[in-house]
Structures are given as structure tokens and as C-alpha cells.
């Protein structure tokens, strides 16, 4: 049985108190992480309710996209298909994850307005809900990745361990961006539009389906582009290529600074967020 629960809510008592309340929120969200998972699962299932294939549409539509773009670009740019398709498959799958976690982050709190305004559920639960929803999608995409790597005989070079580390670094970083987008969008309703356009442009700036080569390799457009590092940290090891140490440096710094900044903002305005909605 549950023990008697105790809830205390008070007025502002200085920034230290706000921080400890924010940490309590974070801790509570981990204590009930199963709830975030249930909500995420429900989101995925309900999106495909009534369709014959159900959630396997996620796999199928991504497969069609990978095949289409893969063969088209490989022929247009005269690059070998067996090199290009694995590259594009990983690119599109993980770009999709980055883009969706950030874009859907904008509606994290707005969508949860009903629940947040009448219960004491942790706010972080809804951040994890957004992230986990996309992790579920990623699991569906895994079939394509494994299939492509096997079919084009890349799996021997695949460094699964470094790839997993890459996914972890990716998740840690896009989670704070998602949270930041959620807070900002709750307050200012123009933010989702801005985020949408920025992410769309970033897709063209980032080598998702073009191969950087020659003089482009050390170009500022890549090195200063956080999305490039986010993508590369996962894609390179899975293709059996080494990851530039700078990428780990950038992502590590981004994770620390990003979480520090976003969490501070969250702590300071946490009690206001429900009123924004």
C-alpha cells in the first residue's frame, strides 16, 4: 500500500526553494516514469487507431521515404547505392527524431493544460512523454536501420556501443531543447511557428541526405551546426566511421550548458507555467 502522501505548497521563498521544488518535480517524474511511458504509448496507438497496419505505418512510411530518396539521390549524384542508402536511412531516421522531439516539444505543456490545471502531476512527466513518444517511433524505425545495415553488408563495421552512447547524447540534448521549446511556447504562442521554420531550415543546412565532402568537411556550416554534431554522433559509429572528438566536446558542453540554463528557467517560472496555458 501507498504510505500517506504529503503535499506542501507555499508561496515563493527565494530561489533556493524554487530550485528544490523543481528538483522535487524532476524526481517525482522519475518515480512515476511508467506514467509518462503509458501516455506516450497511448499517443502512438491512438494516432494509428483504425488503420489496418496500425503503428507499423511508422515503419512503412519511413521505409518508403528512405528507399525513394536513397535511390533517387544515389542516381542523381552518381554515388554508389550501397554506400548511400545506409547513410540516408540513418540520416532521415535520426533527423526525424531530432526534429519531432523539438517540434512536438512546443505542445508539451499546452497539450497537457487540462491535466496540469487540476492535478499535482510533475511537469517533467509531460516532457518525458514527448521524448518517449519519439523513442517508440525510433524503435519502429530500428527495423529499417537493421535491415539496411544487414542488406548492404555494413553491419560488420557497426560500432553498436558507440552508437548507443551517441543515441544517449542525442537524447540528453534534444530533451532540454524540447523542454525549452515547451516553456517558451506556453508563454508565447508565436514560438511554435518560429521553431518549425528554424527546424525546417536546419534540415537543409545539416547533411541529412547530402554527403559533405572535400572542402565542405571542415566548413563552419558543419562545425558550428549543433544539428550536425547531434546527427553525426549517432550516424558515424553505426556506419563504422570514427567520430570527431570535437563532436563529443560540442555535445557534452551543449548538454551541460543547455540543461543548466533550461532547468534554471524552469525552476524560476515553474509555478507560472500552469497560468500560461
Partner 1 sequence: MKGPEVSIRVSDLTLRFPVYGVDSKSLKKHLARITVGGKLGRTGMGAPEVTALSGINLELHSGDRLGLIGHNGSGKTTLLRALAGAYEPDEGTIDVHGQIAAMLDLNLGIDPSATGLDNIRLRGRIAGLSAKEIEERMQEIADFTGLGPFLAMPLKTYSAGMQARLAFAVATAVHADVILMDEWIAVGDADFQKLAHKRILELMERAGILVLASHDLELIRLYCNKVMRIEGGVASPVMDVKKLDELLAAA
Q: How many alpha carbons fall within 13 Å on the CB side of residue 227? A: 22
Q: Is there binding between residue 12 and partner 1 (CB under 8 A)?
A: yes
3-state secondary structure at position 35: helix
Nearest to 243 by CA among 171, 165, 173: 165
Q: In terms of CB distance, is 131 or 233 closer to partner 1?
A: 131
Q: Is there binding between residue 14 and partner 1 (CB under 8 A)?
A: no
Which of 33, 35, 203, 239 forms a contact with partner 1 (CB under 8 A)? 35
Nearest to 127 by CA among 27, 36, 239, 50: 36
* Region binding partner 1 by CB under 8 A among candidate stretches 32-40, 70-78, 135-143, 259-267: 32-40
* Region binding partner 1 by CB under 8 A among candidate stretches 7-15, 129-137, 221-229, 259-267: 7-15
The conformation of residue 11, written as its DSSP 8-state character, comes to: S
Residue 129 grid coordinates = 512523454
What b-and-e string marks burial along 2-41, b requiring 16 or more CB atoms within 10 Å of the CB?
eeeeeeeeeeeeeeeebbebbeebbebbeebeebbbebbe
Which of 27, 189, 219, 246 forms a contact with partner 1 (CB under 8 A)? 189
Q: In terms of CB distance, is 3 or 156 closer to partner 1?
A: 3
Q: Is there binding between residue 110 and partner 1 (CB under 8 A)?
A: no
29 vs 131: CA distance, rounded Å:
13
- Kindly identify the residues of this chain, within the stretch 38-97, that bind partner 1 according to CB under 8 A: 38-39, 42, 46, 49-50
169 vs 62: CA distance, rounded Å:
23
Q: In terms of CB distance, is 6 or 215 closer to partner 1?
A: 6
Q: Is there binding between residue 10 and partner 1 (CB under 8 A)?
A: yes
Which of 14, 16, 34, 220 forms a contact with partner 1 (CB under 8 A)? 34
Minimum distance, C-beta of residue 71 to partner 1, in the bound complex (Å): 37
Q: In terms of CB distance, is 189 or 246 closer to partner 1?
A: 189
- Any residues with CB less than 8 A from the CB of 128 and at least 6 apart, and which? 29, 33, 36, 37, 40
Minimum distance, C-beta of residue 249 to partner 1, in the bound complex (Å): 33
Q: Is there binding between residue 269 and partner 1 (CB under 8 A)?
A: no
CA angle 252, 172, 250 (to 5 degrees): 20
63 vs 65: CA distance, rounded Å:
5
Minimum distance, C-beta of residue 32 to partner 1, in the bound complex (Å): 8
Which of 188, 217, 218, 219 forms a contact with partner 1 (CB under 8 A)? 188
Q: Is there binding between residue 165 and partner 1 (CB under 8 A)?
A: no
**Which value, to the nearest 10 degrees, does the dihedral of the CA atoms of residues 178, 273, 136, 253 take?**
30
Which of 119, 156, 213, 214 forms a contact with partner 1 (CB under 8 A)? 119
Residues that bind partner 1 (CB under 8 A): 1-12, 34-35, 38-39, 42, 46, 49-50, 114-121, 187-191, 270-272, 274-276
Amino acid at each position: 500500500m501507498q504510505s500517506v502522501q504529503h503535499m506542501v505548497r507555499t508561496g515563493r521563498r527565494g530561489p533556493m526553494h524554487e530550485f528544490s521544488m523543481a528538483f522535487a518535480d524532476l524526481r517525482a517524474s522519475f518515480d512515476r516514469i511508467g506514467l509518462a511511458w503509458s501516455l506516450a504509448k497511448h499517443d502512438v496507438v491512438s494516432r494509428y487507431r483504425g488503420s489496418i497496419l496500425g503503428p507499423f505505418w511508422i515503419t512503412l512510411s519511413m521505409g518508403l521515404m528512405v528507399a525513394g530518396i536513397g535511390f533517387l539521390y544515389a542516381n542523381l549524384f552518381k554515388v554508389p547505392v550501397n554506400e548511400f542508402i545506409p547513410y540516408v536511412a540513418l540520416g532521415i531516421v535520426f533527423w526525424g527524431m531530432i526534429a519531432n522531439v523539438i517540434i512536438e516539444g512546443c505542445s508539451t505543456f499546452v497539450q497537457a493544460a487540462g491535466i496540469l490545471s487540476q492535478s499535482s502531476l510533475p511537469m517533467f512527466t509531460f516532457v518525458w512523454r514527448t521524448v518517449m513518444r519519439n523513442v517508440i517511433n525510433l524503435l519502429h524505425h530500428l527495423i529499417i536501420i537493421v535491415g539496411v545495415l544487414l542488406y548492404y553488408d555494413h553491419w560488420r563495421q557497426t560500432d553498436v556501443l558507440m552508437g548507443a552512447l551517441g543515441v544517449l547524447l542525442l537524447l540528453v540534448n534534444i530533451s532540454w531543447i524540447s523542454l525549452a521549446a515547451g516553456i517558451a511556447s506556453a508563454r508565447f504562442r508565436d514560438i511554435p511557428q518560429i521553431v518549425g521554420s528554424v527546424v525546417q531550415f536546419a534540415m537543409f543546412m545539416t547533411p541529412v541526405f547530402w554527403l559533405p565532402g572535400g572542402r565542405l568537411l571542415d566548413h563552419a556550416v558543419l562545425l558550428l551546426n549543433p544539428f550536425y554534431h547531434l546527427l553525426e554522433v549517432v550516424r558515424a559509429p553505426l556506419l563504422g566511421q570514427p567520430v570527431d572528438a570535437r563532436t563529443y566536446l560540442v555535445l557534452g558542453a551543449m548538454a551541460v550548458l543547455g540543461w543548466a540554463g533550461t532547468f534554471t528557467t524552469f525552476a524560476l517560472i515553474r509555478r507560472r507555467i500552469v497560468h500560461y496555458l
